[in-house]
Structures are given as structure tokens and as C-alpha cells.
Amino acid sequence: MMISCEKAALICNKIQYREATSMEKMKLKFHLLLCKNCPEFSRRNSRLTSLCQKADLQSLTQEDKRRMKQLLKEES
């Protein structure tokens, strides 16, 4: 059974976060063989993930966010 492009995109995203099941990976591979557009999406998605990992992006902790909000309140 062929999955939709929307479902393929969801699986592609799950693969990037290591959340896809083996069956989902197999369905995606089959879809990518038959679809004209999704292989490009998959390549771009993988590239974006790779760039984000290389950038070593960090997010603020909840405590840091709280302190920042407090400082901004005090300054205004």
C-alpha cells in the first residue's frame, strides 16, 4: 500500500529524530522509489538536520527564560 506524501513527510521527520519504526522506514523507502517530489524533501530534511547538529544549537533552560523575562520587566 502506497502512503501519501504527507505521511511520507511525517515519517521522514520521525526518522530525523530517531522515532520511526522499522515498518515506517520501509514504507518511506518504498514511497521514495515511486514519488518524484519526496526524495528531494528527504534530502533537504537530512541536510537541515545535519547543519543543526553541526551548529550545536542550545536552548535556554526554563530558569534562564524566567530570569530573562524578569530582567526585561525590570528594565521597562
Asked if residue 72 has pLDDT above 80, the reply is yes
The domain ranges of the chain are 5-75
Q: Compute the distance between CA of residue 39 and CA of residue 62 in angstroms, rounded to an integer.
A: 37
Q: pLDDT, tens digit, for every residue of 33-53?
A: 999 999 999 999 999 888 988
CA–CA separation, 28 and 41 (whole Å): 12
**Of 41, 51, 36, residue with least CA distance to 13:** 41
Residue 76 pLDDT level (bands cut at 50, 70, 90): confident
User: Which pTM does this prediction carry?
Assistant: 0.65
DSSP line for 2-50: PPPHHHHHHHHHHHHTT---HHHHHHHHHHHHH-SSHHHHHHHHHHHHH
Cα Rg for the chain, rounded, in angstroms? 19
Q: Is the pLDDT of residue 1 over 80?
A: no
